[in-house]
Amino acid sequence: MQDVRNGADKLVCRIDKTSKTVEIVLKGFKTIVRFLDNGQVLIENVSMVA
């Protein structure tokens, strides 16, 4: 995965070009956005709290 940072050098998200995935972690939740070959977008939200 490749880190994407803003102008303040803070991590915004991580991307994976091969799997067409964007991963965003914010306030205890991970959001995974997957771009499928048929044009659909799958969004998955996962709690990071144990």
Q: Could you tell me the pLDDT band of residue 48, with boundaries at 50, 70 and 90?
A: confident
Q: What is the pLDDT of residues 1-19, one digit of tens each?
A: 999 999 999 999 999 999 9
Task: Compute the distance between CA of residue 40 and CA of residue 35 in angstroms, rounded to an integer.
Answer: 6
- Strand ranges, E, within 10-49: 11-16, 21-26, 29-35, 41-47
Q: What is the pLDDT of residues 24-40, one digit of tens each?
A: 999 999 999 999 999 99
Task: Compute the distance between CA of residue 21 and CA of residue 10 in angstroms, rounded to an integer.
Answer: 20
pTM, two decimal places: 0.83
